[in-house]
Amino acid sequence: MRFKRSSILPGFWPSFAFALLYLSLLVLIPLSSVALTTASEGWSLTWRIITAPQVLASLRLSFGASLAAALINSVFGFLVAWVLARYQFPGKRLVDALVDLPFALPTAVAGITLAALYSETGWIGSVLARAGIRVAYTPLGVLVALTFIGLPFVVRSVQPVLEDIEQEAEEAAASLGAGRGQTFRLVLFPLARPALLTGFTLAFARGLGEYGSVVFISGNIPLRTEITPLLIITRLEQYDYAGAAAIALVMLAASLVLLLAINLLQWRTRRVMEAPGL
């Protein structure tokens, strides 16, 4: 097998080289320096740091809440994208603009606002508190913050795809006797699925790295509501660079594995989609 298939477009090598250089400068070199800083400390100490109960608890929370938030956003973000792509209604422009708000808002502002809303004295929090549900300063609060910041990633990934689906596809399905549900399940959803997966991945990755908004609503109680980025800051605050790098490395490795797995899944769904005879 050859390294590249011949293409009618010229300029493969310059653009490939540039892409590689760009990725190295921006991503690979900083990341390898994290690994090197960790290695300077010796692996046994690193292992002790990353298996401390406090770190494990934070990893569970960070990955669990990010995953859950990305799943919630996949369902409801898809719904929002569907509504925006397929229906005309008054105020649609406004709703469309609102979706981007979590992108634009400084994360600390988002965090403080959410904490104020969901604390026991806030508008939403006081209602929920009567039902015995505490949101702010619990793991649930982390989930709320991550859901908030992740929403635009799903909507903005899925929306253009839904908008591009041509009506003919639906008409063809209908004329072949498919019901509405069948059309959605067999025609529309499979077309949007890769984009949905992309949106899910982006929302998930963003949630893992999020710091600014979460620390205001999580309460940062050790072993209960500490997210992993906070523990990294904690280590830095004590001038423990190697310890911070060790925790960062775990996060990096875990994220890399998960992102690779999702990309693999996406690659496979795409291949199935493109397979002849389907």
Partner 1 sequence: MNPPPATGPSSSKAPSRRELLGLGLTFSLGCRKSAAPRVSFLNASYDPTREFYQEFNAAFARHWRRLHGVDVIVKQSHGGSGKQARAVIDGLPADVVTLALAYDIEAIAERGLVGPGWQRRLPFDSCPYTSTIVFLVRKGNPKRIRDWEDLIRPGVSVITPNPKTSGGARWNYLAAWGHALQKHSGDEGAARSFVSQLYRNVPVLDSGARGSTTTFVQPGIGDVLLSWESEAFQAIAELGADRIEMVAPSSSILTEPPVAVVDRVAERRGTAEVAAAYLEYLYSDEGQRIAARHYYRPRNPQAASEAPVRFPQLQLFRVGELFGDWQKAHQAHFAAGGTFDQIYQRGT
Using CB under 8 A as the criterion, which residues of the chain lie in contact with partner 1 when the complex forms?
49, 52-54, 112, 115-116, 119-122, 125, 136-137, 215-216, 219-223, 230, 233-234, 236-240, 243
| Tokens at 54, concatenated | 């406090």
Q: Which is nearer to partner 1, 236 or 252 (CB)?
A: 236
Instruction: Give the count of beta carbons closer than 10 Å to the beta carbon of residue 170.
Output: 16
Sign of CA dihedral 86, 90, 96, 102: negative
Q: Which is nearer to partner 1, 138 or 198 (CB)?
A: 138
The least CB distance from residue 40 to partner 1, in Å, is 16
The least CB distance from residue 99 to partner 1, in Å, is 24
Q: Which is nearer to partner 1, 82 or 134 (CB)?
A: 134
The least CB distance from residue 243 to partner 1, in Å, is 7
The DSSP code for 107 is H
Q: Which is nearer to partner 1, 188 or 214 (CB)?
A: 214
Instruction: Give the count of beta carbons closer than 10 Å to the beta carbon of residue 150.
Output: 28
- Displacement of CA 101 from its chain's centroid (Å): 16
The least CB distance from residue 55 to partner 1, in Å, is 10
The two most distant CA atoms of the chain are separated, in Å, by 68
Q: Which is nearer to partner 1, 41 or 240 (CB)?
A: 240
Euclidean distance between the first and the last CA atom of the chain, given in angstroms as a whole number: 27
Cα atoms found within 13 Å of the Cα of residue 194, Cβ hemisphere only: 14
Q: Which is nearer to partner 1, 81 or 244 (CB)?
A: 244
Characterize 230-266 residue by residue with b for buried, 16 or more Cβ atoms within 10 angstroms of its Cβ, and e for exposed. bbbebbeeeebebbbbbbbbbbbeebeebeeebeeeb
The least CB distance from residue 1 to partner 1, in Å, is 46
The least CB distance from residue 62 to partner 1, in Å, is 15
